[in-house]
Structure 1
């Protein structure tokens, strides 16, 4: 049972990761930065619950703010490039973030045990759920509440003027600009929103696996993030979920 619950959790986390890329792809941006935002969200939330002993909701909220702010900053230089150059630039960002975690050492002693990020050894003992008596099925429900809420928000937004504006920018920037749409604002907003969702996914991932390793946040993870919405189709958010079910449920886990 635990194996299947962990698989369901993985599907939920990767769905959020795919949705973070979905928002960007609608505006015509193919970004590999999602792996970096995912890692920042994971480490931020884990540090807050493990070292500072924050509640899980507070830590997740803070991680989303941090990754959203970081994505906002990344969005400005990203405006100067597009296509393959944007892919290369965002890969560089994700690799910078990954190497930062590789060298991050911030440990404190609690109850005779060293806890916190330990450089090349990773970040172990992220035991918030276990220490607070959460059962596995409760963790799964908690995680999927976020997945459902995010899917619902993006699904609703996609059917309002917000979705129309995002798609207009993605289809033809010049035409969108001629109709009065501020393309710069739209692209940065999409990058920021994508960063927030990726940070949410990362923070949930950290507490689900309980052990972080910088090898997780590679180009492969960013490729998965982009592949989900592309394979699932950009018609609606449910295609991303179907793609995750196929790739993670059938191909990866067998």
Structure 2
């Protein structure tokens, strides 16, 4: 697609999306309860360690539903146990590679990392720092395409800037839009009211894909389409990764757009 990361949608629509984020996240939670019988048929793969990272100003509490879901599929799942995410502080940048190393050692192989929002940016950086320990990366509404570019005026970017004085890593370090040494799935939503959805997409490649969903930003970890997608991605074998293709009965959950791999 030709749209540039960082270019915001019309102001009125952006304001409406931001204002309705909590309500739409609650709707995802309700849809999850209704969809649970269907989700019981989600793919299951080889058990391996999975690390789940929260978004900006969130803690492990925010990823509780996602982690419980993945444990139910048979994966050894851990949260980051670093409290509230205030951005790339020295503690976080020092501890995350150690956390990945400990989990990989305990589980006997590379781990998959699922990161929501800012957590997905951490996940992509970890894949470049310790690729031998990372099996794949799945980012959920993560505006990594803004790395190395001027910040936009989205609510997420403004909140991030308020905590910049705590950060050990400059905003613009490195381009994270492509070229990861491990398979990667970037999940985005045109209905995201916190970050610009365009900034959540990567350059497609043999092991790099973008998948659109209908979820709100805050509801990514609760949305049935996202949960099925994460299960499907984790079920990929280490040597047989293939782009996401939803079953026919679920195609309506994934909007088909130019450059997407879903559908």
Q: Which TM-score band applies after superposition, normalised by the shorter structure? A: under 0.3
Bigger radius of gyration, 1 or 2?
Answer: 1
Q: TM-score, normalised by structure 2?
A: 0.25
Higher share of residues assigned helix: 1
